[in-house]
Structures are given as structure tokens and as C-alpha cells.
Amino acid sequence: MPEPVAGPWPRPAETPFSALCWEIPGSPDPVARPAPAAEGTHTSGMRCLFRFGAGFTALLALAACGGPAPVVPAPRPAPAAAPVRITPAAARQLGADELGRVPVLMYHRIVAQPRSVYDRTPADFTAELERLAAEDYVPVTTAELVSRRLDLPAGAHPVVLTFDDGDPSVFGLTPQGQPAPGTAVRILLDVAAAHPRFRPVASLYVNEHPFGGDADGRALRWLAEHGFEIGNHTRRHTNLRTATEPAATAAIAEEDALIRRAVPGYRPATLALPYGSSPRRPELALRGPGYSYGGVLLVGSGPAPSPCAAGFEPGAIPRIRSQSTGPEAKYGSARWLDELATPTGHRYTSDGDPSTVAYPRSAAAVAPECASVGLAY
């Protein structure tokens, strides 16, 4: 499906715990944030299926009391609990399909007066999050997706919320250090507080001077400390297709360094291509001098394959523009969420067991990395 071509900058034109780990030689460490020991980090070179506990529910409820709600870190894995082992019969009853498709939603600005199809109003954004929660979607980050750290309640579906360009309408801190009212992150936190299964996490792809400045890196550190992913969107929103190879790799490496300098100990894990434009050698988006990523996001134009499906390409992960009405709405999120919800929508549905990848025998082929934990029914 065609996706509208990117517009000029700065208008976005594009666009409970581990039950299983296995070694991926040379695999990048997807997330390395300076978080508490209970954080869902993992050893570099390992791939893991993690279990998010229900234990964070009580923490989230604390944030539901109105006012400038205290913000708690995103869902932590619960203490090791014996996972419930899924059986083929139970997987069938659930309709589990862990080779199903995952919507990776793309946002740019959240503003009262949209100026393009890339803008959403706070009301529209809130409504979309409420819809996702009502349809039993659970947000995960891109880093979690590409490293297959998808442990969701039985019957739930993963969704990735991505925000490009570091717009001030997406995030900012009050002088008291709380997410600013009206920003996308504040709205996400408020919706999650009302829906305890809905994890308040997202992946924010930034350039230099994110969120209107952040000269001291305070905003980026807040995000990392609260379970949000900070991704690379190049230092100056470079079109990697038209740039020379040295300029393209420098644009990526320089932003990577800026993020790591702002958030000591943090290592960006994924990149969103400005304008959806790949370097002429596409592998340079994944790996180059000074950087190595587990995933690269495109701009369009449909759901992403499961990271355990044979067709999953970490270097070319499609996204869906958040949109409900207006021109080209047929490429937008409302239409895709409608389709994914149909019996033939091939939507990723969790079996609730982080140690298996359950899927109907009629599903797509399983990726080699997941074959040993596959449960076909």
C-alpha cells in the first residue's frame, strides 16, 4: 500500500519475569537504562521473553487520584512466579496467535488545531488510547518488540506507540518535574491510570534539542527512568536517502551520542527513519560507526509482522499513521484497527505464557529464532 511521501522538515513527512532467554550472537543490547534492579533489562547478546507482572497495577492506581498525579515508573516485571504453561487446547480457546500482526502507531504532534494529517488533537489522541485499552491492547516499546520481550496477559494484543520529532506537544516537564499537562505523555499516563492493564510506555524518536530544547537532558532522563524508550531520529532530521554515506552515518551516530550523553548509561536501541527514507545501503540504518540497533522504523503503511514471524524484518518495520477521518484515512489507524479486529485480521494475540509462542497451524511461518519455543495448534 502506498504511503504519502514525507513533507519538508520540520513537518514530519514520514512519517512477573523472564521465562526464556536465548543467545543471539552479536545481538545488540536493546535497552540498557540505569533503572532499578527489577527493571526488565537483559544481558547483551541474549534474547528473552519476559513476563510483565500484574504487580504494577497497584502502583498505577496511585496515579489515578487526580491533580498532578505522582508518576510511577512503567510496569515492572513481577517477582519470579511460576508461569502458567499454555496447552494447545487453551491456546486454541484463547485464539492465541503470536505470529499475528502488531500495529506500530505513528504520531507527531498533539495539537488543538491540526495543520496536517500528521497532527492529532488531544481529544482524538485520548479517544484512540481509550479505544486501544477497550480492545485489550497493551503498549510495548519498539525495543521490546524487536527483542521479543512481549509478555502480555492472555488474550491481549501488543501495540507500539511511536512519536517522531520530539515535539513539545508530545512531552515536557513542569518546573516541579512532572509531565506537562496536555502533552501526549501526560495523556497516556492518565489513560493508563484508568486502565491498569494499559502500560504507560511509548517510543519517542528525537533529534537534537528535543521537546523545545531540553538543554540539561532532564526530559530525556525522566523518560528513560519511567520506562519510555528514547529512539534515534538523526541529529538534524537528515534525509538518509539523499545524504552521502558518511553524512548519513554521521547523522545517526551524532544523535546516538547526544542521547547517551544526556542519559548516562542509556543506549538507544532503535531508529525511526526521517521521511521514511532509508540510506542507499539500508543496512547502514541498523549498524554503522558508533551505533548498532535492533530495529528501524519506516513510515508506512500497515501493521508490522510479529517479531516471531519469518517475514519480520528488523531493518524495515512498517508503521501506521494515527488517523481516523479525512484525506487518506484508509491508510490510518482507525481503519487498520477495524481490520485487525476482524476474524481474518491476523492480529497478534498473546497466549499469556511468556515461554511459548503459540499460533494456529494455518498461521505464517515461524522465524528460526522462535522455532524452539513454538506451540502450533
Could you say which of 3, 4, 12, 104 contacts Zn ion (CB under 5 A)? 12
Q: Are 235 and 208 in contact (CB under 8 A)?
A: yes
Nine-digit cell at 216? 540539561
- Give 92 or 236: the residue with its C-beta nearer to Zn ion: 236
Nine-digit cell at 339? 481490520
Nearest approach in angstroms of CB 167 to Zn ion is 9
Give Dmax over CA atoms of the chain in angstroms: 55
Q: What is the DSSP letter of 283?
A: H
The window from 137-145, 157-165, 293-301, 346-354 that contacts Zn ion (CB under 5 A) reads: 157-165
The window from 6-14, 130-138, 145-153, 186-194 that contacts Zn ion (CB under 5 A) reads: 6-14
Q: Are 294 and 147 in contact (CB under 8 A)?
A: yes
Q: Tell me: does residue 255 bind Zn ion (CB under 5 A).
A: no
Determine the Cα–Cα distance for residues 126 and 184; give it in Å rounded to an integer: 9
Q: Tell me: does residue 165 bind Zn ion (CB under 5 A).
A: yes
Nine-digit cell at 59? 502502583
Secondary structure of residue 257 in the 3-state scheme: helix
- Give 77 or 274: the residue with its C-beta nearer to Zn ion: 274
Q: How far is CA 62 from the centre of its chain?
A: 24
Nearest approach in angstroms of CB 15 to Zn ion is 6
The window from 8-16, 40-48, 170-178, 208-216 that contacts Zn ion (CB under 5 A) reads: 8-16
Q: Are 53 and 79 in contact (CB under 8 A)?
A: yes
Nine-digit cell at 372? 524452539
Determine the Cα–Cα distance for residues 13 and 117; give it in Å rounded to an integer: 10
- Give 164 or 256: the residue with its C-beta nearer to Zn ion: 164
Rg of the chain over Cα atoms, rounded to whole angstroms, equals 19
CA-based end-to-end distance of the chain: 31
Measuring CA to CA, which residue among 107, 104, 102 is closest to residue 15?
107
Measuring CA to CA, which residue among 237, 245, 233 is closest to residue 279?
245
State the pairing for strand pair 104-107/270-272. unpaired
- Give 72 or 272: the residue with its C-beta nearer to Zn ion: 272
Q: Tell me: does residue 229 bind Zn ion (CB under 5 A).
A: no
- Give 151 or 255: the residue with its C-beta nearer to Zn ion: 255
- Give 147 or 333: the residue with its C-beta nearer to Zn ion: 333
State the pairing for strand pair 291-292/287-288. antiparallel
Could you say which of 164, 167, 214, 353 contacts Zn ion (CB under 5 A)? 164
- Give 51 or 237: the residue with its C-beta nearer to Zn ion: 237
- Give 43 or 242: the residue with its C-beta nearer to Zn ion: 242
The window from 45-53, 112-120, 132-140, 162-170 that contacts Zn ion (CB under 5 A) reads: 162-170
Number of residues in contact with Zn ion under rule CB under 5 A: 4
Q: Judging by beta carbons within 10 Å of its beta carbon (0-12, 13-18, 19+), is residue 247 exposed, middle or buried?
A: middle
Nearest approach in angstroms of CB 181 to Zn ion is 25
- Give 170 or 373: the residue with its C-beta nearer to Zn ion: 170
The window from 109-117, 249-257, 270-278, 342-350 that contacts Zn ion (CB under 5 A) reads: 270-278
Nearest approach in angstroms of CB 78 to Zn ion is 36
The window from 20-28, 165-173, 183-191, 349-357 that contacts Zn ion (CB under 5 A) reads: 165-173
Nearest approach in angstroms of CB 65 to Zn ion is 36
The window from 5-13, 39-47, 291-299, 324-332 that contacts Zn ion (CB under 5 A) reads: 5-13
Nearest approach in angstroms of CB 144 to Zn ion is 22
Handedness of CA 206, 288, 267, 80 (dihedral sign): positive
**Contacts with Zn ion, residue ranges (CB under 5 A):** 12, 164-165, 274
